[in-house]
Amino acid sequence: MRTVNETNDSIEIRELIKSYGNIKAVDGLTLNIAKGQIFGFLGPNGAGKTTTMRMIAGLTKPDSGDIYLAGRRVVFGGKSGREKLGFLPDVPECYGYMNVREFLEMCAMLQGYTRAEARVRADEMIELTGLTGVNKRIGAYSRGMKQRAGIAQALIHDPDIVLMDEPVSALDPEGRYDVIEILKKLKGNKTVFISSHIISDVEKICDSVAVINKGKLIESGPVSAIKDKYDNRTIIFGLPVWTVREKIGRFEAMLRNSDWCEDVSVDQTNHYRIKVTNRSTAQLALPGIFASNEIPVEYIDSVTTSLEDIFLEVIRK
Would you tell me which residues interact with other proteins (CB under 8 A)? Answer: 54, 57-61, 77, 79, 82-83, 85-87, 89, 91-95, 97-98, 102, 106-107, 109-112, 115, 150, 153, 157
In this complex, which beta carbon is closest to other proteins, that of residue 109 or of residue 134? 109
Q: To the nearest whole angstrom, how small is the minimum distance from the Cβ of residue 185 to other proteins? A: 22
Total number of residues shown for the chain: 317
CB atoms within 10 A of CB 184: 12
- In degrees, rounded to 5, the angle at the alpha carbon of residue 266 between the alpha carbons of residues 261 and 270 is 120
Q: To the nearest whole angstrom, how small is the minimum distance from the Cβ of residue 283 to other proteins? A: 50
In this complex, which beta carbon is closest to other proteins, that of residue 40 or of residue 58? 58
In this complex, which beta carbon is closest to other proteins, that of residue 151 or of residue 307? 151
In this complex, which beta carbon is closest to other proteins, that of residue 60 or of residue 306? 60
In this complex, which beta carbon is closest to other proteins, that of residue 111 or of residue 305? 111
Among candidates 143, 134, 130, 147, which has minimal Cα distance to 101?
134
Q: To the nearest whole angstrom, how small is the minimum distance from the Cβ of residue 76 to other proteins? A: 8
Q: To the nearest whole angstrom, how small is the minimum distance from the Cβ of residue 112 to other proteins? A: 7
Q: To the nearest whole angstrom, how small is the minimum distance from the Cβ of residue 108 to other proteins? A: 9
In this complex, which beta carbon is closest to other proteins, that of residue 129 or of residue 153? 153
Q: To the nearest whole angstrom, how small is the minimum distance from the Cβ of residue 150 to other proteins? A: 8
Q: To the nearest whole angstrom, how small is the minimum distance from the Cβ of residue 264 to other proteins? A: 55
| Bridge partners for 99 per DSSP | 137
In this complex, which beta carbon is closest to other proteins, that of residue 157 or of residue 176? 157
Q: To the nearest whole angstrom, how small is the minimum distance from the Cβ of residue 72 to other proteins? A: 13
In this complex, which beta carbon is closest to other proteins, that of residue 137 or of residue 233? 137
In this complex, which beta carbon is closest to other proteins, that of residue 139 or of residue 287? 139
Write the CB contacts of 242 (distance below 8 Å, at least 6 apart in sequence). none
Q: To the nearest whole angstrom, how small is the minimum distance from the Cβ of residue 270 to other proteins? A: 57
* Per-residue CA distances from 27 to 23, 52, 208, 262, 306 (Å): 10, 10, 21, 38, 27
